[in-house]
Amino acid sequence: MRPSGRAPDQMRAITMEAGFTRHAEGSCLVSFGETRVLCTASVETNLPPWLRGKGKGWVTAEYGMLPRATHTRGRREAASGKQSGRTQEIQRLIGRSLRAVVDLEALGERQITLDCDVIQADGGTRTASISGAWVALRLAVDGLIEKQLLAADPIRDKVAAVSCGIHDGTPVLDLDYVEDSSAGSDGNFVLTGRGQIVEAQVSAEGDVFDEEGLLRLLRLARIGCGEIFAAQDRATGR
């Protein structure tokens, strides 16, 4: 029995509230159970210097956690003067995952920045961020299409992410904070709507694992991402 009482292949409740804020070109408040992340997409025509004049765009991400999103208050990164290694690792992963489904040439000379800010944390903040950021991105691109600023849709597919881990010997899906803290190994999978893998990352946290474990986790991830894709469809009205 996993601590959350869920079945091994059972996701937490997923909600995605599109348009949660009004200034961003796209926004989504995503919840995976008690984990809540506000994702916004900002469209700018001011590209980073190394990309200017190449006829293509860029998609990037930043990640942050409100100081009291967690059980005990963490130090505000703006006050400590630098982003932690964890923060940087996560925002690099989010950007990479979304770029995997975007045709940067079709996007034209634009940069879209996905800001993923964790309002409340209960495990899986990076996977919720990727999944919600896709909705914000989709809405922002829809806006560009509506304004006839794009000749073709640069988004090639959906993308979603979910964590999996081996808890007490059992592979389980979508770990919450308590499960994550006690998992022998855990990882994150990023999948496309067509079922292909964008990123697979599994780490031993105490217990090493083997091929079979890796494949079982991937199979769970497919189940979870299926549910997330459905939630994305509802949120974007598709």
Single residue of 103, 117, 180, 233 touching a copy of itself by CB under 8 A: 117
Single residue of 51, 150, 178, 200 touching a copy of itself by CB under 8 A: 200
Contacts of residues 163-167 at CB distance under 8 Å and 24 or more positions apart, as own/partner, are 163/123, 163/124, 163/126, 163/127, 163/187, 163/188, 163/189, 164/188, 164/189, 164/217, 164/218, 164/220, 164/221, 164/224, 165/217, 166/207, 166/209, 166/213, 166/217, 167/2, 167/3
**Which residue, among 199, 188, 187, has the nearest Cα to 95 in the 3D structure?**
199
Residue 15 binding a copy of itself, by CB under 8 A? no
Residue 23 binding a copy of itself, by CB under 8 A? yes
Show the site string, 122-161: x = touches a copy of itself by CB under 8 A, - = not: ----------------------------------------
Phi, psi of 50 (to 5 degrees): -70, -5
Q: Is the distance from CB of 28 to CB of 20 less than 8 angstroms?
A: yes
Six token digits for residue 214: 């890796």
What's the closest the beta carbon of residue 16 comes to a copy of itself, in angstroms?
A: 17
CA 27 to chain CA centroid, nearest Å: 13
What's the closest the beta carbon of residue 231 comes to a copy of itself, in angstroms?
A: 21
Single residue of 4, 40, 127, 232 touching a copy of itself by CB under 8 A: 40
Residue 10 binding a copy of itself, by CB under 8 A? no
Residues that bind a copy of itself (CB under 8 A): 21-24, 27, 34, 36, 38, 40, 42, 44, 62, 64, 66-73, 76-79, 81-89, 91-92, 96, 100, 113, 115, 117, 119-121, 187, 192, 195-204, 208-211, 213-215, 218
